[in-house]
Amino acid sequence: MTLRKQLYDGKAKTIFTGPGDDTLIQYFKDDATAYNAQKHAILAGKGILNNLISEHIMLYLKDQGIPTHFIERMNEREQLIRKVSIIPLEVVVRNIAAGSLVKRLAGDHIRISLGTVLDQPLVEYYLKEDALNDPIMASDHALAFGLATGEELDTIVEHTLTINTLMQGMFKSVGITLVDFKLEFGRLEGSNAIVLADEISPDNCRLWDIETGDKKDKDRFREDLGGLVEAYRDIANRLGLDCSALDQERKD
């Protein structure tokens, strides 16, 4: 057996070499960061919940025909994934106005405020570059600077809109409104096929309770509302996931 090697230590996950040349292991940490890591905390159990929730969503999307990097969950904090080269774009989908959209564009011409339901899903691109604070950009920037081809961007938008429809339905059925979320895509080693990568969890979605409007996502940390782990656990419970690993870790 070869020893695993750490390849990348991110804000919420660490990536290690996998058992095969075309696989990697992603480890979910308890670190929470916001505002480009200016704000940081360790929230015990967050990684376990994100691992479970992301597994559930990735399997559901895979089942519905979306190609993903996900292979299997290995244990409470790790997933086996296919090796991809990540396209340095953060693809954000918005169904309801919130966050930076409202801060940036609400005014006389664009009459939106927090909670405005958008007429159609809005797909935005941000450059994945911490040193520049992940600036928003047009798809033409991605093309002009060779980050992705036109064909790849078409595939990304097509998958993104399908994922949005599937996830909206999944969350609605458990009493949650999918406000917005962020996706990352990568190219599979060898074939260069575009697949969904990274994670989908309350760390990168806005999820509001349909009845109460309660926030069940990372805004609890961004806005110092407290109760983040409990909110993520509520999402996991509603999705029918077994959270016993969380209880076990808390007991140890």
Binding residues for ligand UDP, per CB under 6 A?
A: 90, 92, 98-101, 134, 180-182, 204-206, 218
Q: Which is nearer to ligand UDP, 2 or 120 (CB)?
A: 120
DSSP one-letter string for 123-144: EEEEE--GGGT--EE-HHHHHH
CB atoms within 10 A of CB 89: 24
CB of 246 to ligand UDP, least distance (A): 22
Q: Which is nearer to ligand UDP, 17 or 33 (CB)?
A: 33
Q: Which is nearer to ligand UDP, 13 or 182 (CB)?
A: 182
CB of 236 to ligand UDP, least distance (A): 17
- Cα–Cα distance, 115 to 110 (Å, whole number): 14
Q: Which is nearer to ligand UDP, 27 or 181 (CB)?
A: 181
CB 125 within 8 A of CB 89: yes
CB of 67 to ligand UDP, least distance (A): 21
Q: Which is nearer to ligand UDP, 18 or 69 (CB)?
A: 69
CB of 101 to ligand UDP, least distance (A): 6
Q: Which is nearer to ligand UDP, 179 or 195 (CB)?
A: 179
Phi, psi of 21 (to 5 degrees): -60, -30
CB atoms within 10 A of CB 146: 7
Token pair belonging to 173: 């059925």
Chain residue at closest Cβ approach to ligand UDP:
99
C-alpha distances in Å from residue 20, one per residue of 9, 27, 82, 171, 180: 20, 17, 9, 34, 35
CB of 45 to ligand UDP, least distance (A): 19
CB of 217 to ligand UDP, least distance (A): 7
Pick from 183, 91, 200, 83: nearest CA to 142: 91
Pick from 223, 174, 232: nearest CA to 203: 232
